[in-house]
Structure 1
Amino acid sequence: MDDPKYSKFNVSTTVYKTVNGQDIDLGVMTPKAAHPGPRPILVRFHGGFLVCGHALHAEWFANWALDYALLHSAIIVSPNYRLFPESTGLEILSDIRDFWTWIQNDLPAYLKSVGSEVTPDFSKVLAFGESAGGYLAIMSGLTQPDLVSAVVAAYPVTYLDSDWYRVASTTKSPMGAPQVPVSVFEEHVKGTPEGKIVTGSFPPERLMLAVSILQSGGFVGLGDDDSLFPDRVLEKLSAEQKVPFLFAFHGTEDSAVPCGQTRFFVGKWEEEVREGECGGEVGEGGSWG
């Protein structure tokens, strides 16, 4: 990527998984002035309602994360993943699991192959993301507790089983968007060849599709398995389960993702972890906005 925003980084891409003969890739960014040797890892998941977005879309890449990586000579890894509605929620999460396997098994050799002098420090792994990316960061923290030390979730999607995502309504106007006909969603599904996957799109591509899905309650199509929902996963943690530190922030006027749901989820995190119901390491949550 030659975007000026990434000018202080060496940026490369590689495939971490193939589905139906279609590659799913990720981006690796290392500061050009990085100190050699073991460096922290920042894993960033892009947002976009699980419908759109791309791992290296510069406009949606948080400046603080780039600044933090430069300050600490940290390695940034940002994966693409299968998108809805071509793929289900369980399929998306399977990509995230396989991505973390790649991080542990293949990242060191990959860095060496592209001539980098930095190596990953697996004792310092931060997962972060915005919106749907915040959801995937939280899910990573809950399912990879031995690897992920901390999670930063920016205006994260948390309660995918709530009416906001699963019940049609004419009052939803994410980011001030007008009402988009449900036919946009329906015709897209009808026109998708069997077995086709989509693993990334650069906005505004697919944005109106995401709005149509939200307004029509179409996220019910993600599935109902308990493993899709962070609060249900949190409730089922064993007493010995480790959990990472959690920091969540959310603007109170967010029209796309309900701020109140973030507050409620942070409260559940604190309740489950602070009172010792989950045991292990204490994870703390905060909301700001």
Structure 2
Amino acid sequence: MADWAERIPGIKALLESRFDRVDVAYKTVNNQPIETAILIPKSLAPDSTSVPVLVDIHGGALVMGANPEPGFIARWAIDLVEQEQAIWVCPSYRLLPESTSGEILDDIDDFWKWVHHPASVSSGLQAAVNTVRPGLTLNLYRVALRGESAGGFLSLQTAFLYPHSKVKVVIAHFPIMYTDLEHDPLPARSKDVPPGSDADKLIDKYLEEVAKKPGQIRTVSPWPEMGEFLFATFGTGRLKSLTGDDERMTLRYAMSRAKSLPPLWVAQGIQDPIVAKEATDEVVAKIREAYPDTPLKYTVEDGEHGLGADLAITDSWVAEGVAFVKKYW
């Protein structure tokens, strides 16, 4: 994570120099807006028509993250948006433990409904773009979806649960958080962290504070905010209990809901200490068996969590994956 923290200033500078940004609420919960960032390349002609869309859902184990999260954004993804002359849409969503995993999935569902609101109404993605670039016309039948880690999981869940998203291709990197796998992707308690440890006390204290403020929600916690809490859940094996027992967090339920899937590009680092390669292998194998007609590119490379973050769009396996995405986007 230290390397990710060090890259934040450079990624922020890239985004500010190459994109115009507007933040818009796509829903409101308990009088608090839940926003999406819309980033429009400065190189995009003001009268462009049929502009494609890349939706990017941030990671952070459903506990932390921002929209977008500069520490985690892959450089090649920035290049892809500009190369395709697309707009980049980065939704926030409610976060654990103030909210439940089911409420997070509800937010993603509502986000997609907002994206596809007709331009004739005052809400929706096209209407939001009209406020800053009235000459741009979006092509909402050319929507690609990308996410890493928890964002990759929510991207897979979009493919399974929300066909109204109309997504043409999904990029899901180190994405597995399903709670019903043979190879459990959520970290178990470390042997070095006994029950009652300082990490447990930190979690318990935070949960006590949350309980005192029912209805409070949190939607944005940029790195390193909540980092200490998140790593405490890894060490104690308590992240799984925070995700809860909502059946929508299981692969079994997801696969029962989808008759078909859009093309998928899944990537996984062999040495990833957070999302085990075996869990991703298991999910990929089950998808291939259940959906044999779905184009699925599975990239496995040496690397840890954040695989390929600093690669360019022309580098090695990224170039192959991007070619796959462009074929269907």
Q: Residue in 1 aligned with 2:242?
A: 221
> Do the aligned residues in 2 keep the contact of 1:129 with 1:154 (CA within 8 Å)?
yes
Instruction: Select 1:129's aligned residue among 137, 144, 147.
Output: 147
The separation in 1 between residues aligned to 2:299 and 2:253, in whole angstroms, is 20
2:93 is paired with a residue whose SS is coil
Q: Residue in 1 aligned with 2:229?
A: 209
Shift of 1:200: 1.0
Q: Residue in 2 aligned with 1:5?
A: 14
Q: Residue in 2 aligned with 1:151?
A: 170
Shift of 1:161: 4.2
Instruction: Give me the TM-score of the superposition, normalised by structure 2.
Output: 0.78
Instruction: Give me the TM-score of the superposition, normalised by structure 1.
Output: 0.88
Q: Residue in 1 aligned with 2:255?
A: 235
> Do the aligned residues in 1 keep the contact of 2:93 with 2:107 (CA within 8 Å)?
yes
Deviations 1:28-63 (A, max 9, x none): 011111140111111101111110110123222221
Structure 1 alignment gaps of length 5 or more: 173-178, 275-280
Q: Residue in 2 aligned with 1:256?
A: 274
**Matching of residue 14 in structure 1 with residue 16 in structure 2:** no
Instruction: Select 1:165's aligned residue among 160, 175, 186.
Output: 186
RMSD, aligned CA: 2.2
> Do the aligned residues in 2 keep the contact of 1:145 with 1:244 (CA within 8 Å)?
no
CA 1:76–1:197 in 2, change beyond 3 Å: closer, same or farther? same
1:200 is paired with a residue whose SS is coil
Instruction: Select 2:89's aligned residue among 77, 92, 98.
Output: 77
> Do the aligned residues in 1 keep the contact of 2:175 with 2:275 (CA within 8 Å)?
yes
Structure 2 alignment gaps of length 5 or more: 1-8, 118-123, 302-329
The separation in 1 between residues aligned to 2:273 and 2:198, in whole angstroms, is 15
1:149 is paired with a residue whose SS is strand
Q: Residue in 1 aligned with 2:77?
A: 65
Instruction: Select 1:30's aligned residue among 40, 63, 77.
Output: 40
Shift of 1:130: 0.8
Instruction: Select 1:246's aligned residue among 258, 264, 287.
Output: 264
The separation in 2 between residues aligned to 1:143 and 1:156, in whole angstroms, is 16
- What one-letter code is carried by the residue in structure 2 that aligns with 1:121? N
Give the number of aligned pairs: 274
Deviations 1:87-117 (A, max 9, x none): 1110000010111111111111111111243
| Deviation >6 Å, runs of 4+ | none
Q: Residue in 2 aligned with 1:111?
A: 129
2:157 is paired with a residue whose SS is helix
> Do the aligned residues in 1 keep the contact of 2:186 with 2:274 (CA within 8 Å)?
no
The separation in 1 between residues aligned to 2:12 and 2:106, in whole angstroms, is 30
Shift of 1:201: 0.8
